[in-house]
A = this chain, B = another copy of it.
């Protein structure tokens, strides 16, 4: 055995005498450019022997190098054999550079390093002097063409049964698909001729309402299609609770099939729009909440909806996609994000991956708001999480003219301090039909800043203004007069609506503060607040701080990551190394049960004001309020 040291990285490997320098480099994990598969023909695998003895055919080398280069020790790694301890310099141009992929919603590129790869090989047929088994011949060929070390690859039984005929039928020209799995590299597919460019993967956000699929070309590192579909489980129950109850009545297998069908529908749409065959999709990465992933796998979610709220499994899982009816390659793999608990699911772990907070030294706060909210705080050392019911107000529910972010929803609104008349925009630009979450937050902040409402959320009926009036049950502010709407009646915000909005925002704020107290962190120590999910899309960050939805930090440090679940799934699909960190992240996150924390209830009460009972926590808001009050008198 001899030691070969590769510079500049000082990677060392022990290899037997006569090993080629290429083999040694590959075993050391270096990704060498070998276009010809190590036949000494392409001249790409140039290395420089700095010290030690190698042997190679001088004649072959002369074709590729000048005398000067030869004097410096230049040779082809695939031709030179190790004859003693060596120091080898590998120039940058000899290494295959990893491609950086840009993913929607991310500032930095991600290296293209998927867990499944294809290798086209042209093998020499066996002879009496080289009667190696078919499997070895194939795997060595794949190794030579840049694949993993042959001994670390394995073929499942079905592949072993196909290999001998397929190799001979294809005249020893085949494409092998290799996937990294626990315990090694699996030969998941073997095809005749060169199909190495046909390798696709899908990243899936499996939501309870909508399934979103991003389809990626894993060779070119390009996103080729996006598609979405309603979650077909809606036929078994509108919300998660109803579906779990449906599952309890022997409905689990139906819910499993519907979840798979929903993914398949989006996958088919995406594949069709990109003009690719679903058989060429070898991997599907799914991020979803804990109940959704249990259902997709056909695992009973029933123990998650009642005390003590126990999931069956929370770690990351890899399963054969065929086992759960996902319509991709018959030997394709499915990777599911891990969860922290029943409430902090794989979608939140995907958010964490997307915003990168688990890799930073600075402390971040991640907030995902829907009917429920999830909050995660921490950095690369520690993380706390919690979840709770936000109530539907922030999504437009329990508010008289609240609505989802559909066409006609007011998503942004300002109020003219002079006239108290609003200026607004609607989704799709049509006449207003109601207000969506971001519109409601804007409105609340603007009404507060114009003293139309006080910090208790009460409407100042003392204002003599046509937009401020007493409605059937409550005082109200007329946002849009009937004639300007698409619905033919006044769109108003009532005092009761405001109460519901304050209760919702108070829950979120109290959750953030509870985590901060748990970690002993002040608001000044929080570097960034990330909003994940659709809620953040239209949100006016300043207004979110003004009403006290979130702790006050400089506006420039509040960021919206959009659909973090699918962004995280994209990252994990593109780069398998990122995937390896997920279980570690999930294990690191402590889950705080808010209902068991007296601090939460205290903080909730204090947060049920605009922005808070303690204005010193919101110095910027206080300044603005003071200014407004001065103005209004």
Query: B-contacting residues of A (Cβ < 8 Å)?
Result: 126-128, 130-136, 151, 154-155, 157, 160-161, 163-165, 181-184, 297-300, 302-303, 307-315, 317, 319, 323-324, 341-342, 583, 593, 596
- The smallest beta-carbon distance between A137 and chain B, in angstroms, is 8
Alpha-carbon distance between A135 and B339 when the two chains are bound, in angstroms: 13
Question: Which residue of chain B lies nearest to A183 when distances are taken between CB atoms in the complex?
Answer: B183
Q: B130, B184, B313, B342: which contacts A155 (Cβ < 8 A)?
A: B313
Contacts of A312 in B (CB 8 A): 133-135, 160, 163-164
Residues of B close to A161: CB separation below 8 A = 297-300
Tell me if A300 and B164 are in contact (CB < 8 A): yes
Give A297 to B298 CA distance when docked, in angstroms: 31
Instruction: Give the complex CA separation of A310 and B181 in angstroms.
Output: 28
Q: How far is the CB of A254 from chain B (nearest CB, A)?
A: 15
- Closest-by-CB residue of B relative to A314 is B133
- Roughly how many angstroms separate A297 CA and B314 CA in the complex, as a whole number? 36
Complex CA gap A43/B134 in Å reads 56
Q: A136-B313, A160-B297, A160-B313 are in contact. List 12 more A-B contacts (CB 8 A).
A: A126-B303, A128-B308, A131-B308, A132-B310, A133-B310, A133-B313, A135-B314, A136-B314, A155-B313, A160-B299, A160-B317, A161-B298
Query: Which chain B residue has the least Cβ–Cβ distance from A132?
Result: B310
Q: List chain B residues, Cβ under 8 A from A302.
A: 164
B-side contacts of A132, CB under 8 Å: 310
Question: In the complex, which residue of chain B has the Cβ closest to the Cβ of A311?
Answer: B133
Q: Which residues of B contact A131 (CB under 8 A)?
A: 308-310, 341-342
What are the residues of chain B within 8 A of A317 when measuring CB–CB?
157, 160
A126 and B308 contacting across the interface, CB-CB below 8 Å: yes
CA distance A312 to B164 in the complex (A): 6
A135-B583 Cα distance, complex, nearest whole Å: 14
A464 CB to nearest B CB, Å: 54
10 A-B interface contacts by CB (under 8 A): A127-B308, A128-B309, A130-B308, A133-B312, A135-B313, A136-B313, A154-B182, A157-B324, A160-B297, A182-B183
Partner of A303, one of B155, B160, B164: B164
CA distance A151 to B308 in the complex (A): 23
* Interchain CA distance A164-B310 in the complex, whole Å: 10
Q: Of B184, B341, B583, which is within 8 A of A182 by CB? A: B184
Contacts of A127 in B (CB 8 A): 308
Q: List residues of chain B with CB within 8 A of the CB of A314.
A: 133, 135-136
Q: A133 — which chain B residues lie within 8 A by C-beta?
A: 310-314
Residues of the B chain whose Cβ atoms lie less than 8 Å from the Cβ of A308: 126-128, 130-131
Contacts of A323 in B (CB 8 A): 157
**Cα-based distance from A91 to B203 in the complex (angstroms):** 53
Which of chain B's residues have a CB closer than 8 A to the CB of A151? Answer: 583
Instruction: Give the docked Cα–Cα distance between A183 and B152 (Å).
Output: 11
B contact residues around A184 at 8 Å (CB):
182-183
In the complex, what's the smallest C-beta–C-beta distance from A548 to chain B, in angstroms?
Answer: 30
**From A313, which residue of chain B is reached at the shortest CB distance?**
B135
In the bound complex, CA of A163 to CA of B155 (Å): 30
State which of B134, B298, B311, B341 has its C-beta within 8 Å of the C-beta of A134. B311
Task: Collect the chain B residues with CB atoms within 8 Å of residue A313's CB.
Answer: 133-136, 155, 160
Q: Cβ of A298: which chain B residues have Cβ within 8 Å of it?
A: 157, 161
Nearest-neighbour CB distance to chain B for A223, whole angstroms, equals 29
Smallest beta-carbon distance A352→chain B, Å: 19
Known pairs A161-B299, A297-B160, A299-B164; A310 contacts B183 (CB<8 A): no
For residue A324, which residues in chain B have a CB less than 8 angstroms away from its CB? 157
Counting chain B CB atoms within 10 Å of each CB, the highest count among A154, A160, A184, A342 belongs to A160
**How far is it, in angstroms, between the C-alpha of A127 and the C-alpha of B306 when the chains are bound?**
11
Contact of A307 among B128, B134, B309 (CB under 8 A): B128
The docked-state distance in angstroms from the alpha carbon of A298 to that of B181 is 24
Contact call B310/A134, Cβ cutoff below 8 A:
yes
CB distance from A538 to the nearest CB of B (A): 36
Closest-CB distance, A299 to chain B (whole angstroms):
5
CB atoms of B310 and A157 under 8 A apart: no
Distance in angstroms from A134 CB to nearest chain B CB is: 5
For A135, what are the chain B residues with a Cβ–Cβ distance below 8 Å? 312-315
Closest to A341 in B: B131
When chains A and B are docked, how far (Å) is the Cα of A468 from the Cα of B353? Answer: 93
What's the Cα separation between A544 and B163 when bound, in Å? Answer: 44
When distances are taken between beta carbons in the complex, the residues of chain B under 8 Å from A155 are 313
Q: How far is the CA of A307 from the CA of B130 in the complex (A)?
A: 11
User: How far apart are A324's CB and chain B's nearest CB, in angstroms?
Assistant: 8
A131 and B591 alpha carbons, distance in the complex (Å): 10
Distance of A133 Cα from B338 Cα, bound (Å): 12
Residue on B with the closest CB to A131? B308
Q: Which 8 A-B pairs have the closest CB atoms?
A: A183-B183, A182-B183, A135-B313, A131-B308, A126-B310, A128-B308, A133-B311, A134-B312
Nearest-CB residue, chain B, relative to A300: B164
CB distance from A295 to the nearest CB of B (A): 12
- Contact residues in B for A583 (Cβ distance below 8 Å): 151
Nearest to A320 among chain B residues (CB) is B157
Residues of B within 8 A of A593 (CB): 128
Cα separation A312 to B157 with both chains bound (whole Å) = 11
Of B160, B163, B164, B319, the contact of A157 (CB 8 Å cutoff): B319
